Amino acid sequence: MTTKINTLFTFGLTVGVAIILAAVVATGAIAAEGTTGTSLANLINQLSPLVITVSVPLIIIAIKKALPNIPTVLLPIAAPFVGILGDFLVTVVTGWAPAGGMVVAAAAGALGVFLREVVDQTKKAIPT
């Protein structure tokens, strides 16, 4: 396997394991508290924008590495659409639609890329 494929495989495996662990921890915490499915829906509603905000920059980085010929100006534009896709996947996997729907998911996706850019630009501005 090439280095790019190894990197993408490691990234995908890491994200997959993190998602599974988060689901197990959340499910275990809910079961331990004796709460109902409604509480699980509330937890998903509360956490999905955060998960989308954190995961979209990682997905954009993976797209950038997998498709190096894609114009870099398109990557930040793709962020809201990746957020919407994340919202759709949460709905399909869990059966519960996150609060706010596509608008919140698009904003969360854009926010993730914005925060990454702020960190990158700050690092460039501060001499080391």
Which position has the higher pLDDT, 14 or 86? 86
**pLDDT tens for each residue of 7-47:** 555 566 566 555 655 555 455 444 444 445 566 667 777 77
What does the pLDDT look like over 48-66, one tens digit per residue?
A: 788 888 888 888 888 888 8
- What is the C-alpha R_g of the chain? 17
Averaged pLDDT for residues 82-106? 79
Amino acid 102: pLDDT: 82
Residue 48 structural domain: 3-125
* Residue environment code for 38-51, b if the CB has 16+ CB neighbours within 10 A, otherwise e: eebbebbbeebbeb
Among the listed residues 74, 82, 77, the one whose alpha carbon sits nearest the alpha carbon of residue 102: 82
Number of domains in the chain: 1
What is this structure's pTM? 0.61
Answer positive or negative: Cα dihedral of 101, 20, 55, 81.
negative
